[in-house]
Chain A
Amino acid sequence: MPLDIRLPIGMLFTLVGLLLTGYGALSDTALYQRSLGYNVNLVWGVVLLAFGVFMLVLGRRASR
């Protein structure tokens, strides 16, 4: 396999995770009325970030 697919997946999810976490931490709570009061950006951002980093680690370990 020329390029380990886990690297681009990890990169994308790390970036999106960071973006959502940051946005969730800074945004106004009124925004989350529509999501039943859950700060979905913050919570899901952290989950995606963890997944992204996990993929990056796996990908890097394999390509070394």
Chain B
Amino acid sequence: MTIQLAAVDYAILLIYFASVLGIGFALRRYQQSSADFFLSGRSIPAWVAGLAFLSANLGAQEVIGMAASGAKYGIATSHFYWIGAIPAMVFVGVFMMPFYYGSRARSVPEYLRLRFDEKTRGFNAITFAAMTVFSSGISMYAMGLLLGVLLGWDFNVSVLVSAVIVLLYIFAGGLTSAIYNEVLQFFLIVGGFVPLVFLGLKDVGGWAGLSERLTVTATQAGFAPGAYTHSWQHMGSPDANPMGVEWFGLAMGLGFVLSFGYWTTDFLVVQRAMASNSMSAARRTPLIAAFPKMLFPVLVILPGMIAIALTTQAGETGFSLPAKADGSLNYDMAIPMMLGHYFPSGILGLGLTALMASFMSGMAGNVTAFNTVWTYDIYQAYIKRDASDRHYLWMGRMATVFGIALSVATAYATTQFNNIMDMLQLVFAFVNAPLFATFLLGMFWRRTTGHGAFSGLVAGTLAAALHHGLTLPRGSVAGIKGGWLDAVLNTYPSEMAQNFWTAIWAWSVCFLVTIVVSLATRPRPPEELRGLVYSLTERPSDEGAPWYRRPVPLAVLVLGMTLVLNVIFF
């Protein structure tokens, strides 16, 4: 189905493009130093940094992917929010931000150099830079593909136009521009999706009608009636829920390793907090982000659940998910199809703009993280050490240009070799999983040494690869899904279970190796670690501020509310 857009829809898209570029150019004259360009001059208020922290992660793949998972797994998908994000966001705000912000490090790799040594930083900087370019390339590819299917737009035009717009606004306004546009995107997503969820719910007969239909969906798929509407009840065994995971793998793999690994060490999100205007604001950034984050399942997962419910048992308007060529349901089309089905022209333009905005700011988030790490941690560290600040500002702009050029190249490479993309994502998963062990030890155990951190990271990465090479998800053949080491030691009930356990293994190996090697090597004297390690850093005090401006009371509130959500949908 291709959707026809009316003039009013194009007008809304144009207003959005004009605003994005306008913001970029209005910020141009404030980009005087490299700190302005890469760190927004550390001037962003907490609420703006918080919404950007949330949106930087809310790329369109996330939006579309979460709806797809909502359709595939039901409400258990919300674990990616309530277990897989909130606790880690609280942790990074309360415990880790004092080092990130307090050390005045300009990036995550730079913190690794201050705390450990050059090689640990180099390892992180290079893998991270490569990762950002590839993710923004994948994002472009996905957008080109979707707009082609949905609107019949030409792939080249979609990719090139969005690349040029993102390029222009970051080139002009740097990180501030990216952050502002992320905040704009946040409101657009809410504005575009609230009416969609409303109409979908109306069609399906409210929550009651939805659960009734999902009971049928669950029984048809061979699960207990509540498998799609209860998040924890069926996690006792991997065979009892559509995700194919059990509670321990879920809590440890997703809730601990993967989630903490992402939210606490990924510079893409941490950069937003580093740009805020004070220590207190930096600590509150992830906490402020946590409030909307815990409610986002309503906007991104619920539409997927509505889509599958209506596919099982048609509603008034006859909506159903399309099938792929092989006859299976195309879950990825849940949100795009619902937009086309329920939205008349006018608001349809708004919905599409929200989708485009999330694609573009997902790209922009990667590009700003890339240009910073490239300039500070690769160019300044290894290529040109003592240049003027002006030169690094110039380099940041150049890095924006070639970062986007490389992303476009990746997008086109993906159209040619789809497998290479899966492969790359896999390799990055190996690199990311152990990183949290390095940070945890580095920040809370002062005995951790540079050699320990580096060997732990390498060993953890290898452990991840090894585990993946020796296991397979049920029903898959050896290859990209695992088992490529010719010996399958364990078969997991699902791909997700395999991922969680790969992460658990990688983390544990990194943790142990780091400890053993650290004990065998010479520690750094305590005075060099001041401000970098928990026991040697003064606690930031926020006495006298009202409770809603203090990290700890906010953190308690966030965790309490998340607990309540888990209980309600248990």
Contact at B15–A16, with CB atoms within 8 Å?
Answer: yes
Contact at A1–B43, with CB atoms within 8 Å?
Answer: yes
Contact at B347–A44, with CB atoms within 8 Å?
Answer: yes
- Residues of B close to A8: CB separation below 8 A: 19, 22-23, 26, 180, 184
Contact at B344–A40, with CB atoms within 8 Å?
Answer: yes
- Other-chain residue from B44, B277, B317, B346 in contact with A24 (beta carbon distance below 8 A): B346
Q: Is B91 an interface residue (CB 8 A)?
A: no
Within 8 A of A (CB), among B24-52: 26-27, 30, 43-45, 48
- Residues of B close to A35: CB separation below 8 A: 199, 342-344, 347
Interface of A is mostly: helix
Question: For the complex, what is the distance from the CA of A15 to the CA of B18, rounded to whole Å?
Answer: 12
Number of interface residues of A (CB under 8 A): 28
Nearest-Cβ distance from residue B39 to partner chain A, whole angstroms: 14
Interface of B is mostly: helix
Question: For the complex, what is the distance from the CA of A45 to the CA of B187, rounded to whole Å?
Answer: 14
- Residues of B close to A38: CB separation below 8 A: 199
| Residue of A with least CB distance to B48 | A5
- Residues of B close to A27: CB separation below 8 A: 344-346
Nearest-Cβ distance from residue B376 to partner chain A, whole angstroms: 22
- Residues of A close to B26: CB separation below 8 A: 3, 8
Question: For the complex, what is the distance from the CA of A3 to the CA of B19, rounded to whole Å?
Answer: 13
Q: Is B164 an interface residue (CB 8 A)?
A: no
Contact at A41–B344, with CB atoms within 8 Å?
Answer: yes
Contact at A34–B316, with CB atoms within 8 Å?
Answer: no
| Residue of B with least CB distance to A41 | B346
Contact at A23–B19, with CB atoms within 8 Å?
Answer: no
- Residues of B close to A23: CB separation below 8 A: 8, 345-346
| Residue of A with least CB distance to B341 | A34
- Other-chain residue from B45, B187, B195, B316 in contact with A44 (beta carbon distance below 8 A): B195
Contact at A36–B203, with CB atoms within 8 Å?
Answer: yes
- Residues of A close to B317: CB separation below 8 A: 34, 36
Produce 1/0 per residue, B332-353, CB < 8 A to A: 0000000001111111001000
The 6 lowest CB-CB distance pairs between A and B, nearest first, are: A41-B346, A2-B30, A31-B344, A12-B19, A23-B346, A23-B8
**What are 12 pairs between A and B in contact, CB < 8 Å?**
A3-B26, A3-B30, A5-B48, A5-B180, A8-B22, A12-B184, A16-B12, A19-B11, A31-B345, A34-B341, A35-B199, A41-B344
Q: What is A's interface to B at a CB cutoff of 8 Å?
A: 1-3, 5, 8-9, 11-13, 15-16, 19-20, 23-24, 27, 31-32, 34-36, 38, 40-41, 44-45, 48, 51
